Amino acid sequence: MPIDKDEFESKHILSDLEKSVISFLKKTPTKAYTMREIMDGINIQTNFKDIWNAILSGAFLFGFSSILNDLANCGKIKMEIINGTYYYMAK
């Protein structure tokens, strides 16, 4: 399967989830979003109704936060902390 030039040059092949995040942010390049807003925008739901779903959702939130930070660290998106809240936007 072919990859984009950016992926080739960065030596990082984006996952479908990473591509969804970038695509969502590029739709409104003049706005910055919190992690929760991005999750809502790409239709990711968490469930804390019982202990097992809470554990799984918590683990997912940690992983999703890591994905956003990795995308920012490799220059695919921008990240800023404003008043203690992380915001992400298209590069």
Which tokens hold the place of 75?
A: 């220059």
Spatial CB neighbours of 53, under 8 Å, sequence gap ≥ 6: 47
Q: What are the pLDDT digits (tens) for 35-79?
A: 999 999 999 888 778 888 788 888 888 899 999 999 999 899 999
What are the chain's domains? 5-90 (1.10.10.10)
Closest C-alpha to 83, from 38, 34, 46, 36: 34
pTM above 0.85, yes or no: no
Q: What is the pLDDT of residue 45?
A: 83
Angle at which helix 16-27 crosses helix 51-73, to 10 degrees, equals: 70
Q: What are the pLDDT digits (tens) for 16-41?
A: 999 999 999 999 999 999 999 999 99
77 to 33, 46, 55: CA distances (angstroms): 11, 23, 28
Q: What is the pLDDT of residue 6?
A: 75
Determine contact, residues 18/71, Cβ cutoff 8 Å: yes
62: left (phi over 0), alpha (psi -120 to 50) or beta: alpha
